[in-house]
Amino acid sequence: MQHTLSFRKHLSTLAGLVLAVLGATTSPLPAQPLHTQDMITDTIDTATNGIIVTPAIPVLQIKADQVSAQVSPMLYGLMTEEINFSYEGGIYGELVRNRTFKASTNAPVYWDTVGGAAIALDTNQPLNAALNVSLKLDTSKASKNSPAGIANSGYWGIAVRPNTTYHASFYAKGKHFKGPLTVSLFHVDTNHPTLTYHISDGSVTKGLEAGSTVASASATVSKISSSWQKYDVALTTGDVTPSKDNQLVISTTKPGTFFNHHGTVWFQQVSLFPPTFNDRANGNRPDIMQLLADMHPKFLRLPGGDFLEGHQLDHRFDWKKTIGDISERPGHMNDAWGYWTTDGFGLLEYLEWCEDLNMQPVLAVYAGYSKNPKVIQAGPELQPYVQDALDEIEYVTGDAGTKWGAQRIKDGHPTPFPLTYVEIGNEDFFDKSGSYDGRFAQFYDAIKAKYPQLQVISTVGNDHPESMRVHSRTPDLTDEHYYKTQEQMEAQSHMYDTRSRTNLSKVFVGEWATRVGRPTPNMAGALGDAAWMCCMERNSDIVLLESYAPLFVNVSDLARGGSMQWPSDLIGYDALTSYGSPSYYAQVIFSTHHGDNVLATDSQDIPTHPWQAPQRTRNGVPQGGSPTPQQVPSVFYDATRDSQSGTIYLKVVNRQSTPQPVHVQISGVSAVEAQGTATVLKANSPEDTNSIDQPTNIVPATDTVDGLGTDFTREFPPYSITVLELKAK
Ligand code: AHR
């Protein structure tokens, strides 16, 4: 092995030399008609003590007339859950934080007072059974010069853009107070502090924070009723500078009615929406949706992840409480990730998200296991949860003649949604009681009896011991999760090549990521991802679906208890802007550049590098002997072909610090045009990355390249992911 390494080092140098002689450049690189035999020069390698060696460029054979598999039509998708402020504070358009005042029972967290007015939570004036608390504002000290009111700074800011209309709404009722109320967007001025309540790690603190002075937009509600009413106003900005340093303020200059100056007003569900993707009411943030649209995903695994199960049974995703009018949704503590969710982003919103991006839901249903751990054993006790899952499927797919289909129509969506896959739970390998086989069987039988066309997924995959897997039924797919380092991903980059084809269960890689870089992965992460995606794509006769996780992170507050619970996430954002990580662009490249047929390939002399897997430990104690050092590939590839156009998509990943020539030989076609395209994602160092301040440091570039054919050599840049589009006949 050592010999191979020094040999490969020499080879890169030599290849570089030859390329230099031939006038090759690295970026964008016209493919050079450089053949292995051209490299056979009398070169003295100092590393081999003067012995003349015949350098070998890695050779990659593509057998275009041998289709080894079909690329699964739904291979590339998304996985999602409420983590890292993915929905509230993320893709969900709502700009007000804690709009229903239920994030803490102690204080109106994330709300400020205006003009020193007294505010408090009030459980005696509920809006309804779901929103059973309200925010009470004492208006008695209000005056023309010092209005009394409430203010909200959103999720680490509220984005305000020029010439834009925002939709503000709230429920209110007054006592000795009839209005008016002014609703405004204020640009924050750090010179005027106001009192703010914050919640962090469960404790509430008060502090003086930036105040508000300049209104960007305002509207007035002239009359407030003495019983609960909903009020809606439009706030339209002028020529303001885009910023996130803004607050929503609702205030009054009137202390009370004419005869009584001790006015009180109660609020519930104070909401502010910007324009949304596809102009949906209660819709999504356009910039993040556009990033996703550019990935061309085929499915959305929802709603988790740990968010589906919760730590406590009561904190699971209880889908029936997430539908209907948003003012009737109680919300719940997302105890998996430690913050409140209003469930304004509920089941129908997930489905509409799918519809907007032309994806299918992969519906994960609660399966009687919460992380606490709470296990509901198979049998009569589990039956209500099985029924809940059947109802959920009916809500997604049913027509007007079904109870839950009719409910969906009532909720505003007449057309049923397409559905192929239902997943039973999430990561049930954590359930050490051994109950999953029985629980899975109960769900499987009920779903197959009513919906035989549905594919049912087990959450215990081949990455777990045989004894943990489902045996009493044959899951249509099993979900495997891989959170790895770059080297670990590379080491398993041929894993599915040797996976048994006789196993009747196909594979869903429902969560995976090369976890290098925080809050979003860097180029090393993208390289590990690309090595792994080559493996999945090459084997997509068995790997039918894959989704990276987690998808989102709000990068505004990366400290503990802040906006991130899980580092290394695909897409980052703050209140104003968003960006894709290098891993995101690797996903985009893979999902948008492939054919429908996987072509048989072969290779020789693929360079390798040494790697030793980390010692396994349990509670800090080493387990077993030291893992054996191994040679891991440094170049990864796969080839697919579009059966209609004939185009061959060759993906090559070079994880090394040096350019890598590869000799490509294509058989089984009559010709390949000399001109094609190369889409390349590359960096100068594996640590290079994108961030909220440098969002496009590393992005793919597509160029026309020459010198392609059925036999050519091309140099792949250091730290790069390349897709060559070869026009074959
Ligand atoms: O993706 C983050 C978490 O990792 C998911 O919620 C869980 O399924 C997995 O353990």
Report how far ligand 1's centroid is from the alpha carbon of 583 (Å). 18
Find the 341 Cα to ligand 1 centroid distance in Å.
18
Instruction: Please give the structure tokens belonging to residue 28.
Output: 């964008």
What DSSP string runs through 510-534?
EEEEE--SSSS--HHHHHHHHHHHH
DSSP-assigned beta bridge partners for residue 711: 665
Give the C-alpha separation, 13 to 30, whole Å: 19
The answer to whether residues 443 and 383 touch, using CB atoms and an 8 Å cutoff, is: no
Cα separation, 215 vs 662, whole angstroms: 61
Residue 305 beta carbon below 6 angstroms from any ligand 1 atom: yes
> Residue 237 carries which side chain, given as an amino acid letter?
T
CB-count exposure of residue 134 (10 Å: 0-12, 13-18, 19+): buried
pLDDT in tens, 281-294: 999 999 999 999 99
> Over 639-696, what HEC string results?
EEECCCCCEEEEEEEECCCCCEEEEEEEECCCCECCCEEEEEEECCCCCCCCCCCCCC
Is the CB of 427 within 6 Å of ligand 1?
Answer: yes
pLDDT at 699: 98
Cα 320 from Cα 346, distance rounded (Å): 9
For residue 513, the ligand 1 atom closest to its alpha carbon is: 1
Query: What pLDDT is stored for residue 213 in this prediction?
Result: 57
Candidate from 427, 508, 565, 568 with most ligand 1 atoms within 8 A of CB, to mutate: 427
Amino acid at 46: T
Burial of 40 (0-12, 13-18, 19+ CB in 10 A): exposed
Low-confidence ranges of the chain (pLDDT < 50): 1-48, 54-55, 193, 195, 197-208, 210, 212
The confidence score (pLDDT) of residue 220 equals 96
483 CA closest ligand 1 atom index? 4
Q: Which atom of ligand 1 is nearest to the CA of 307?
A: 6
Residue 60 in tokens = 């990659």
For residue 569, report the distance from its CA to the centre of ligand 1, in Å.
12
CA distance to 55, 152, 441, 601, 603, per residue, from 59 (Å): 12, 61, 48, 10, 5
Q: Which class for 717: exposed (0-12), middle (13-18), buried (19 or more C-beta within 10 A)? A: buried
**Kind and range of the H or E run holding 403:** helix 403-410
Q: Where are the beta strands (DSSP E) in 5-74?
A: 59-70
Read off the pLDDT of residues 112-122 as tens digits, 9 standing for 90 and up: 999 899 999 99
- The whole-number pLDDT of residue 620 equals 82
* C-beta separation of 351 from 396 below 8 A: yes
Ligand 1: does its nearest atom lie under 6 Å from the Cβ of 306? yes
Residue 598: which of 653, 538, 544, 652 has the closest Cα?
538
Tell me if 490 CB under 6 Å of ligand 1. Answer: no
Cα dihedral value 380, 382, 433, 309, nearest 10:
-170
**In this structure, what DSSP letter does residue 573 have?**
E
Spacing, Cα 278 to ligand 1 middle (Å)? 30
pLDDT score at 56: 85
Q: Find out whether the beta carbon of 549 lies less than 6 Å from any atom of ligand 1.
A: yes
CA distance 672 to 726: 7
First and final C-alpha spacing in the chain: 40
Which residue has a Cα nearest atom 3 of ligand 1? 305
